[in-house]
Amino acid sequence: MVSDLAFSPNGKILISASGDETIAVWDSLTGKLIHTMTDHSNMVNCVAISPDGQTIASGSNDKTITLWNGRGYQQRSILTGHTGWVTSIAISPDGQTIASASADKTVRLWNLHTEKLIFSLTGHSTAVFSIAISPDGETVVSASINEIKLWNLRTGKLLRNLNGCYPVTFSPDGQILVSGGGKGNIKIWR
């Protein structure tokens, strides 16, 4: 089962996360498999690629985030600290920060270059299933089955609580936040 997909910035490479504990690298033009990364020990839930294409990040049910080189596809490092499945990841537009969501009810912000934890954000009452970073790189939004939280990416401060659920995404201009809703509905926040 493919659980997540991410395109490289130039659109030539497609990364897929899978339930078989692998991350696959595909040529998006030909559909050919280029490489398979196999260092996770459980289902891979999510993948993201840095804006410069130099880093691929993957999150897994093994409770880790693995960083891979975007060119040779070799493992660079493993970020640990979550005590539950890593369910969603996002990389900031400036390529400096990676945000991770987890079944442990936390959001963690990491420095992508030093690979150190910046903030552990708490406040969700249930597992966090979706995360997104605004196009201006100022806000991170996290969502669970019953709540949405907006955080300042630079300070870790909680900015706002919304009544809604996952998934969440920002419009390209950052002016609209869209979230999932019960009974097949979506909510639009301005």
The arrangement of strands across the sheet holding 13-18 comes to: 2-7, 13-18, 23-27, 33-37
In the numeric block, which tokens belong to residue 132? 């997104």
Q: What pLDDT shows up at residue 183?
A: 78
Residue by residue, what is the 3-state secondary structure of 1-49? Answer: CEEEEEECCCCCEEEEEECCCCEEEEECCCCCEEEEECCCCCCEEEEEE
Q: What pLDDT shows up at residue 42?
A: 95
Q: What pLDDT shows up at residue 184?
A: 84
CATH of the domain at 122: 2.130.10.10
Tens of pLDDT, residue by residue, the chain (190 residues) = 999 999 999 999 999 999 999 999 999 999 999 999 998 999 999 999 999 999 999 999 999 999 999 999 999 999 999 999 999 999 999 999 999 999 999 999 999 999 999 999 999 999 999 999 999 999 999 999 999 999 999 999 999 999 989 999 999 999 999 999 777 889 999 9
DSSP code of 12?
Answer: S
Q: Hey, is 29 helix, strand or coil? A: coil
The Cα diameter of the chain in Å comes to 44
Domain span holding position 72: 2-189
Q: Is 122 buried (19+), middle (13-18) or exposed (0-12) by CB count in 10 A?
A: exposed
Domain count of the fold of the chain? 1
DSSP 82-132: -SS-EEEEEE-TTSSEEEEEETTS-EEEEETTT--EEEEE---SS---EEE
DSSP-assigned beta bridge partners for residue 55: 69
